Structure 1
Amino acid sequence: MQAAWALLMSLHYLAWPAAAEASIPVRGVVGEAVSLAADLPPDFEVREVIWKYLTSKEEIVATFFKGSVETMYRSHFFQRIWLLGNFSLEISQLELGDSGTFKALLVGTEGQLLTRTLQLTVYEAVSKPTIRVFAPGSDPPHSAGSGCEVFLTCAAERGSGVLYSWQRGGGTLGNGTHTFLDEGKVLKVRLEPSDNRASYCCTAANPVSQESTAVVPWDSCEGRADAEVTSHNSKYLLFILLPLLILLFAVAVLGIILCTRCSGKKTLKASEDRANVEMQPV
Structure 2
Amino acid sequence: MAVGLTTVLFLLFITQVVGTVHGVVYLSPSLQKQESYHQIHWRCNNTVKIASRDSKGKVYYPNSAYKGRVELFPNNTLKISSLQKSDSNTYWVYLEDDVGKEHIENILLTVYDLVPKPTVNAKVIRGGSPLCDAMLECSVGLEGVTYEWIRLSKPPLQGPGTSEWHVSFDPSIEAYICKVSNPVSSNNATLTYRHPCSWTGESSAAAFCTTTSVLVALGHLLLLLLTLA
Normalised TM-score (structure 1) = 0.62
Q: Are 1:187 and 2:165 matched, yes or no? A: yes
For structure 2, which runs of at least 5 residues remain unmatched after alignment? 200-229
User: Hey, what does 1:72 align to over in structure 2?
Assistant: 62
Q: Would the alpha carbon gap of residues 22 and 111 (structure 1) be closer, same or farther in structure 2, given more than 3 Å must change? A: closer
Displacement, 1:222?
Answer: 4.7
Does the CA contact (< 8 Å) of 1:26 and 1:118 recur in 2? Answer: yes
Instruction: Write the letter of the residue equivalent to 1:148.
Output: C
User: Hey, what does 2:86 align to over in structure 1?
Assistant: 97
> Could you say which structure has the larger radius of gyration?
1
Whichever structure has more helix as a proportion of its residues is: 1
Displacement, 1:22?
Answer: 3.9
For structure 1, which runs of at least 5 residues remain unmatched after alignment? 1-11, 224-282
CA distance in 2, matches of 1:127, 1:106: 40
SS at match of 1:217: strand
Q: Would the alpha carbon gap of residues 147 and 100 (structure 1) be closer, same or farther in structure 2, given more than 3 Å must change? A: same
Show CA shifts across 1:19-54 (max 9, x none).
4x2410000100011010023434332210011111
* Identical positions, percent: 26
Show CA shifts across 1:98-142 (max 9, x none).
00100100112243422221000000010111211111346xxx3
User: Hey, what does 2:207 align to over in structure 1?
Assistant: none
Does the CA contact (< 8 Å) of 1:39 and 1:88 recur in 2? Answer: no
Displacement, 1:220?
Answer: 6.9
Q: Are 1:172 and 2:150 matched, yes or no? A: no
User: Hey, what does 2:180 align to over in structure 1?
Assistant: 204
Q: Would the alpha carbon gap of residues 81 and 32 (structure 1) be closer, same or farther in structure 2, given more than 3 Å must change? A: same
CA distance in 1, matches of 2:132, 2:190: 19
Q: Which has the higher contact order (CA 8 A, sep 6+)?
A: 2
Q: Are 1:215 and 2:191 matched, yes or no? A: yes
Whichever structure has more strand as a proportion of its residues is: 2
Which of these residues, 15, 31, 37, is aligned with residue 24 of structure 1?
A: 15
The alignment covers a number of residue pairs equal to 192
Please report the RMSD computed on the Cα atoms of aligned residues, expressed in angstroms.
2.4
* Over 6 Å off, 4+ runs: none
Equivalences for residues 207-246 of structure 1 within 5 A: 207-219=183-195, 221-222=197-198
Q: Would the alpha carbon gap of residues 219 and 36 (structure 1) be closer, same or farther in structure 2, given more than 3 Å must change? A: farther
